[in-house]
């Protein structure tokens, strides 16, 4: 299997994130999306994890299915919350036996803090009692002991909501990254936030690759949800989306959202980002349109 650390060492990576389907309808949507996005030849794809026996199995099945039946390179998410050390070790060993070598190690939020949709890299916590591990760095350490994994961790450009201050957040992130291979950020909307994150990590002596997480805003209805999911949409961006609605309704809002996401991608790449990670919400069209706009896959249709 291809290791993400090796891909990043070779050059820019472009990746997508999905969440495991809970129903036949969601499965059909995801299958259609995978068919649409596989021709883009993403460097890798990641699959979120919400914990609990049923969700654990869905994530495992999706990741191993991608590994054995598609050309995609999958990465499995795993969270500390509501798992014992033994359970986590068993999950890691099962992945290793299945040939899955790429892992996103997350602390996981308490159940009441979960964001909808499985979109953010730091989310994915199940319900139930707290687990024996409390921080992602402990899960990274466990995965290193078991061995064989290329390990990613989450980064928050404006700081994790549980951090008392930004300086503390950066110190914890630097500690994780010294043990891990790379990070993927929570989605954000201003390139300056990503640039500041990278500069502050460099000041702490950490230069591991940090992939920016990109979430296109394709409707005004989604704006309030973004703050609940950890990253508020800035006022200037809301103004552009509202102006688009006045010009041409929902279709214009969607087009403006794709333009905004494309501009953000261009800005972070210009800053030296080692690639892009797209939160797809199990849909394909916005991601494909951004790919076209960036010149990454200009021959692909935007239909669907």
State the catalytic residues.
Answer: 17
Say how far apart CA 44 and CA 223 lie, in whole Å: 28
Residue 262 makes CB contacts below 8 A (sequence gap 6+) with: 290, 293, 294
**DSSP characters over the chain:** ---HHHHHHHS-EEEEEE---SSHHHHHHHHHHHHHHGGG--SEEEE----HHHHHHHHHHHHHHHHHHSS--EEEEEE-TT--HHHHHHHHHHHHHHT--EEEEE----GGGPPGGG-STT----SSS--S--SHHHHHHHHHHH---EEEEEE-TT--TT-SSHHHHHHHHHHHHHHSSEEEEEE-S-HHHHHHHHHHHHHTT----EEEEE-----GGGHHHHHHTT-PPPHHHHHHHHHHHHHHHHHHHHHHHHHHHHHHHHHHHHTT-SEEEEE-TT--HHHHHHHHHHTSSTTS----
Q: Scan for tokens 């959202």, then name that residue.
A: 257
């Amino acid at each position: 299997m291809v290791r993400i650390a090796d891909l990043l060492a070779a050059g820019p990576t472009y990746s997508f994130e999905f969440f495991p389907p809970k129903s036949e309808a969601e499965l059909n949507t995801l299958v259609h999306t995978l068919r649409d996005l596989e021709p883009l030849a993403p460097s890798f794809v990641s699959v979120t994890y919400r914990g609990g026996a049923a969700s654990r199995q869905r994530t495992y099945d999706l990741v191993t299915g991608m590994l054995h039946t598609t050309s995609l390179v999958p990465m499995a998410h795993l969270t500390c919350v509501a798992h014992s050390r033994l359970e986590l070790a068993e999950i890691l060993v099962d992945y290793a036996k299945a040939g899955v070598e790429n892992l996103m190690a997350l602390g996981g939020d308490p159940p009441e803090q979960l964001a909808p949709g499985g979109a953010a890299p730091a989310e994915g916590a199940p319900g139930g009692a707290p687990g024996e591990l409390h921080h992602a760095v402990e899960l990274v350490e466990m995965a290193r002991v078991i061995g064989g994994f290329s390990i990613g961790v989450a980064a928050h450009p404006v700081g994790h909501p549980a951090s008392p201050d930004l300086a503390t957040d950066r110190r914890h992130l630097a500690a994780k990254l010294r043990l891990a291979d790379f990070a993927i950020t929570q989605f954000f909307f201003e390139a300056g936030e990503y640039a500041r994150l990278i500069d502050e990590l460099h000041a702490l002596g950490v230069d591991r690759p940090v992939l920016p997480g990109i979430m296109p805003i394709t409707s005004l209805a989604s704006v309030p949800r973004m703050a609940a999911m950890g990253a508020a949409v800035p006022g200037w961006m809301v103004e552009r989306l509202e102006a688009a609605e006045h010009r041409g309704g929902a279709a214009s809002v969607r087009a403006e959202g794709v333009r905004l996401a494309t501009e953000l991608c261009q800005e972070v790449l210009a800053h030296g980002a080692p690639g892009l990670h797209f939160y797809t919400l199990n849909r394909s069209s916005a991601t494909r349109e951004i790919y076209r706009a960036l010149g990454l896959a200009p021959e692909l249709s935007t239909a669907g």
